[in-house]
Structure 1
Amino acid sequence: MIKRKLLGQHFLNSKTIAESIVSEAKITKNDVVFEIGTGLGVLTPLLCKKAKKVISVDADENLIRKAKTTLSDLDNLVLKSGDGFKKKDLFSIFVSNLPYSKSKDAVEWLAQRSFSHGIVMVQKEFAEKLVAKSKNRKAISIIATYAFDIEKISNVRKNNFSPPPKVDSVILKITKKNDMDKKLISTINEIFSYRRKTVKNVLKQFGKESEIEERVDDLTGDEIVNLAKQIIKK
């Protein structure tokens, strides 16, 4: 378990919650499901029952080795070890109990992928950050709300995991709204490091001119995305 804790991952041990996640994912026999975090395989066989194909990835090679034995009867399952956020597989639905340490990276990675929707379980505090408004926003809030429609499904108590994390989790449904590329995401992150500055001063940092005296903090999410697009434009 020590390695698992280092990865910031905790095993879901509730079949009821696993069934709820699969139900909310609205999977059909036309769907390819991409699962990050095979874990002990609580979710994986349930996904396979519904999907055309399931690609399940785990960073822990030992877990993939075990899954290849315990789930060997599932002929629509592809198991892979490694960093799921570096894989190039095509999929229509994403499902994951996201490792806490990788949640921000995961959202930025998903923002760059084309897919229909996903069900993700994240730390409660991170879920609140994703949908935060005004002064509580982070750059990831702007990226997430531009890329996805985000709907809270339910809270999950920490005792549903082993080892139990220190905080509760939240199940979210994310529906893809806009594709983003790496450059746009990195520019939004950079703009947000100047959030207290005026648009005029921020654009000056990028060698562009503007007369807008509003601060970045006072712009809407879409306005910040449009500002990033303006900066990127040659």
Structure 2
Amino acid sequence: MSARVFPQESLAFPSARLLVLESSTTAGSVALIADGALVAMHPVAMGAGREDQLFPAVQALLKAADMQPQHLTGVVCGEGPGSFTSLRIAASLAKGLAHGASLSLFAVSSLLLAAADASDALPAGPAVVHGDALRGERYVLDVRFDENRRVQAQSALQRMTLEQLDMHVAGRPRLAVLSSPVAELETQVVTPWSAHLLRVVPHAWTRVVPLESWEPQYGRLAEAQVKWEASHGATLPSLGVS
């Protein structure tokens, strides 16, 4: 089933109806954006051992807006990096909705959504956003806020130690996702809410991604895969990610 092509004139949100899913951290959320404005957002607690609440949140959001999936223009999914399991849950749901309603699927960096949380507090210019990558490392993305307080990436996703991050920041505002082991060094603690899509430059997410092959940017292998490979002394190709 072919996806509906996202109209060029809607890239700046004048008439788009977008469902946005974000699940890279324990602070998951789903949002509905229509006519260039946020209609509503539902926070969803994510994490190991929790019952999946993303789909019920989507259902509740659409019901409150008196909408069906086929009324949407597209689905936008936070692509990570972050929790392997939670990202897969959101990606599967986003793909299912896009396929079932013949919608276009888009992906947005979860670190950009997080950085956008600081757009009201920071002036135009560069900043660094970082989140927990486990094993003593941080996911790091260089970003820039424009004069309209919208954020865009200025580098590829990186992974580094706290010591490397200290050197990398070089005086720029430092934004920690949810928490930081060195809170006194952070300019602001930020959350990747789905509603922040409106604060991300359109060209950072308006490229349609293929339903058949798109996967979130996990950032690293799942912990379960690392443990399995360590105990078996072999790789697990079926779960490998870059």
Scaled to the shorter chain, the TM-score interval is under 0.3
User: More strand by proportion, 1 or 2?
Assistant: 2
TM-score normalized with structure 1 length: 0.28
Q: Which entry has the higher C-alpha Rg, 1 or 2?
A: 1
